[in-house]
Amino acid sequence: MPDPETGPARAPGPDPVSDPAPERATDGRARLLGALRRPGSRGQVVAAVLLAALGFAAVTQVRANGRDDNYVGARQGDLVQLINNLSLASQRTETEIAQLQSTRDALGNDTEARRTAIDRAQEQAATLGILAGTLPAVGPGVRVTITDTRHGVGTNQLLDGLQELRDAGAEAIELNDQVRVVAQTFLQDRAGSGILVDGTVLEPPYVIDAIGDPHTLATGLQFARGFADEVEGVGGKVSVKELGSVEVSSTIRPEPPKYAQPAGTR
Amino acid sequence: MIAAVGLLLGVLLGLLLQPTVPVWLDPYLPIAVVAALDAVFGALRAFLDGIFDDKVFVVSFVSNVLIAAVIVYLGDKLGVGGQLSTGVIVVLGIRIFSNVAAIRRHLFHA
Amino acid sequence: MLLAFGLLVATAGIQTARSADESATSRASLIKQLNSRKKVLDGERAQLQRLQAEVATAQKRDLQATRAGRSLQQRLTRLGLAAGTLPAKGPGIQVVVDDARGARSYQQQVQATDLVKLVNGLWQVGAEAIAINGQRLTSLSPIRDAADAITVGFSSLRRPYRVSAIGNRDTMGADLLDTAGGRAWVTLQSTFGLQFDVETKESMVLPAAKAPSLRSAHLPPRLRGDLPQGGPADRGTG
């Protein structure tokens, strides 16, 4: 490559080490400062343009390098695994699409449509009712008994227990066969023994009925340093029974909300 | 002054526009950037030496970039892509170092 | 001489081009495959969403046609709002919490249990719907600490945490500070420097949670077919 700036015909520039400093009227530093104060010479503009290009390219390259491969560390085997997962997910989605398409077609056909719509709506109402706590539910699950002779168990432990159960897939939860636990359920400590759940006093021992996969629920509560250990740490004891059928019979009276409305995006 | 502004502008544009590098450009960009850097430092040194010529700057900038690209391309085709690029970077690096040293002596007399 | 050289170069070039670097290209082709499959999956998911919207609209239209259908539709709306599967809008408050500035120990960072207490307090003062960073809370949403972040309903959240609660915006804020959760946060703020800020909002929109399908829980048999008062002929799902 041609040596920059001194041009091909010239001898290589003065060797700064062995030659004496070139005798100019002003030295390099002064010249630089002079140029900084005097903008607008053609040379400067040219330099500006090229430097802009350099800056742009450099920044772009740095980004590209940083952002690039999500798969930098992945080995051949990992990539193949990822591809398999993706095709599985695609298959599942395709099945759902096919199902929905047939449902949509059924809904398009007039007389069938109304019956189909009502059937679907009833199923949805059942699901939502269980979620919102307005309908009772049954299914496999666990019955968790928490004894609390030292009155150490409070809302902290129970709230943790509820999170664990939800994390383990609990679909319906009931406390002491009296209070249904839903999203809006709140717990309060009270002086003396017992706690308040949605305003209702519950005394120990606390019994939690939860519907879900019994083994997953039980494991979720009993793993080391988890809920069971936490309760024991405050003087209580947890016993979990996996059951083939648990009934969550208490319900919540449906009340129309005062402030919340459906946000229509029709 | 304007030169520095130009650099800043370029960097800002790069950050704002966030362009994605087209796939065919991908192997050439890094080495082009280094080659351009070499041209820039050489220009700065020449300026401090009092022998700066903007035409020469443009020519060397552009040709550095082009030649670097050609070498990368050739290297790929011949199958010595990695090694050749490394060699180019080493040479550019050496030149940058020596130019920077000269610049340093000018600016700080040290 | 030049001819021979030219031939040499050409052959080397062709040779290399043919047996192109094995590992690099096969890995590159795997990555390409991965990216294209991802695009396909994204397209399918988009199609699924469109279909879901179509079916929902069709169902609504069909339900409107009968009295049983209309009352079912109303019930679905009410339940969806309470359960969190329908987007909700209304006035309320937004509580924004965050780690202490320059937090270094875990005590100076927001933990899941802190959010749980906050949410518990909000329900206590009458919130009707709550979402954290756009994740609507349902009876199935756990708030947990995961490796690097807090997860709500299996979505990872990033700080700061905006807890939006629809309800009486004039009273909830003050009442919150009277609850155990509110007081806990005031302590967190003064002792560890966690950030805690309450804003009243005239109108917020809380997105819906994805409608889950229940795998274990179902209606007790005595109730099946006894659902919403439908027309005489509608003897339900059975």
For A199-223, the pLDDT digits (tens) are 999 999 999 999 999 999 999 999 8
In a domain, B14, yes or no: no
- Residues in chain C with CB shorter than 8 Å from the CB of B79 are 12-13, 15-16
Contact indicator for C185, C117 with CB cutoff of 8 Å: yes
Minimum distance, in Å, between the CA of residue A229 and any CA atom of chain B: 51
Clarify whether residues A110 and A212 are in a common domain. Answer: no
Look up the domain containing B89 and give its range.
Answer: 23-108
Number of structural domains found in chain B: 1
Q: Out of A90, A129, A155, name the one closest to residue C79 (CB).
A: A129
C-alpha dist (Å) from residue B93 to B39, B47, C211: 11, 20, 60
In a domain, B1, yes or no: no
Q: Which residue, among C137, C155, C171, C216, would best test binding to A if mutated, counting the most A CBs under 10 Å from its CB?
A: C216
In a domain, A99, yes or no: yes
Minimum distance, in Å, between the CA of residue B79 and any CA atom of chain A: 22
- Which of A130, A155, A170 is a domain's end point? A130
List the structure tokens of C125: 């003062």
Q: Subunits with at least 3 CB pairs below 8 A relative to chain B?
A: A, C
Contact C80 A117 (CB under 8 A): no
Q: Is C105 on the interface with B (CB under 8 A)?
A: no
ipTM: 0.76
Clarify whether residues A227 and A168 are in a common domain. Answer: yes
For A87-117, the pLDDT digits (tens) are 888 888 888 889 888 888 877 767 677 777 8
Mapping DSSP to helix (H, G, I), strand (E, B) and coil, where does residue C101 land?
coil
Contact A4 B38 (CB under 8 A): yes
Clarify whether residues A223 and A167 are in a common domain. Answer: yes
For C101-131, the pLDDT digits (tens) are 888 888 899 999 999 999 999 999 999 999 9
Contact A54 B14 (CB under 8 A): no
In a domain, B100, yes or no: yes
- Residues in chain A with CB shorter than 8 Å from the CB of B9 are 48, 52, 55
Minimum distance, in Å, between the CA of residue C138 and any CA atom of chain A: 5
Look up the domain containing A196 and give its range.
Answer: 136-248
In a domain, B16, yes or no: no
Clarify whether residues A59 and A84 are in a common domain. Answer: no
Q: What angle do CA A4, B39, B100 make, to 5 degrees?
A: 95
Q: Where are the domains of chain C?
A: 88-206
Clarify whether residues A143 and A237 are in a common domain. Answer: yes
In a domain, A10, yes or no: no
- The DSSP code sequence of chain A is -PPTTT-TTSPPPP-TTTSPPP--SS-HHHHHHHHHHSTT-HHHHHHHHHHHHHHHHHHHHHHHHHHS-TTTT--HHHHHHHHHHHHHHHHHHHHHHHHHHHHHHHHHSHHHHHHHHHHHHHHHHHHHHHHHTSS-EEEEEEEEEEE-TTS---HHHHHHHHHHHHHTT--EEEETTTEEE-TT--EEE-SSS-EEETTEEEPSSEEEEEES-HHHHHHHHHSTTSHHHHHHHTT-EEEEEEEEEEEE---------SS-EE----
In a domain, A236, yes or no: yes
For A137-185, the pLDDT digits (tens) are 999 999 999 999 888 999 999 999 999 999 999 999 999 999 999 999 9
pLDDT tier at A265, thresholds 50, 70, 90:
low
Contact C129 A212 (CB under 8 A): no
Q: Is pLDDT larger for residue B2 or for residue A259?
A: A259
In a domain, B18, yes or no: no
Give the CATH number for residue A162.
3.30.70.1880
To the question of domain C88-206 being in CATH 3.30.70.1880, the answer is yes
